[in-house]
Chains A and B, each alone.
Chain A
Amino acid sequence: GAVVSQHPSRVICKSGTSVKIECRSLDFQATTMFWYRQFPKKSLMLMATSNEGSKATYEQGVEKDKFLINHASLTLSTLTVTSAHPEDSSFYICSARAGMDTEAFFGQGTRLTVV
């Protein structure tokens, strides 16, 4: 299958700082990318959907000013956690798909720890 790469795989940051997570589709052009958050031993919660060149659509309850999503190219989407706090510590996973009716492929996830 296609490859989606997330970077970094792990990050530790201080409370109050911002951290950026990258999601890249390595061998296909991703018109749509999704960002999920996974709490320990829990399922994946969809945070937002981003289409290349347009603003992200956030799920209910997700703070768009807190979790900034940019999908500036067909191979890259970024999630920036602004003014991070310990409660933002989580596993963040992106997925990407080429078209409306195509399979979505998942990145390997990013473990964020805010201290």
Chain B
Amino acid sequence: AQSVTQLGSHVSVSEGALVLLRCNYSSSVPPYLFWYVQYPNQGLQLLLKYTSAATLVKGINGFEAEFKKSETSFHLTKPSAHMSDAAEYFCAVRVNTGGFKTIFGAGTRLFVKA
């Protein structure tokens, strides 16, 4: 079955430092992968998605992710963290089990220190 695993429920970085949020996937077919951000008491906003085109995907707010088949990873990065990046981040995979659905990882909360 297709799934995603996010390593680290909490990540803390200093403002201006590199952000790295880890996601590994499990899939027997080429996956469609997503990263979403959620601010407190709000819905989800799509940051970026991988749909089997370019392996390096650029998203909004300076985020990008690289699909690495050999490592079954889709880690999210941003060169320089801003205070406004503090939020919950979810990695997700689209699965087809009688229709397309999006299955989410457990989430990683990003803290940004001044």
Contacts and interface: CB of A to CB of B under 8 A. Distances in A.
A79 B69 CA distance: 38
Given A43-B105, A109-B41, A103 B100 contact: no
Given A103-B46, A103-B49, A106-B43, A43 B99 contact: no
Q: How large is the interface on B (under 10, 10 to 19, 20 to 34, 35 or more residues)?
A: 20 to 34
Contact of A95 (B49, B102, B106): B102
Contact of B106 (A43, A51, A101): A43
Given A42-B107, A44-B90, A103-B49, A34 B43 contact: no
B104 A44 contact: yes
B45 interface: yes
Contacts of A42: 106-107
Given A93-B43, A106-B43, A49 B105 contact: no
B52 interface: no
Given A43-B90, A44-B90, A6 B43 contact: yes
B49 A49 contact: no
Contact of B102 (A1, A6, A34, A51): A34
Contacts of B104: 43-44
B11 interface: no
9 contacts: A43-B90, A44-B44, A46-B103, A49-B99, A93-B44, A95-B102, A106-B43, A107-B43, A109-B42
Interface of B: 36, 41-46, 49, 90, 98-107, 109
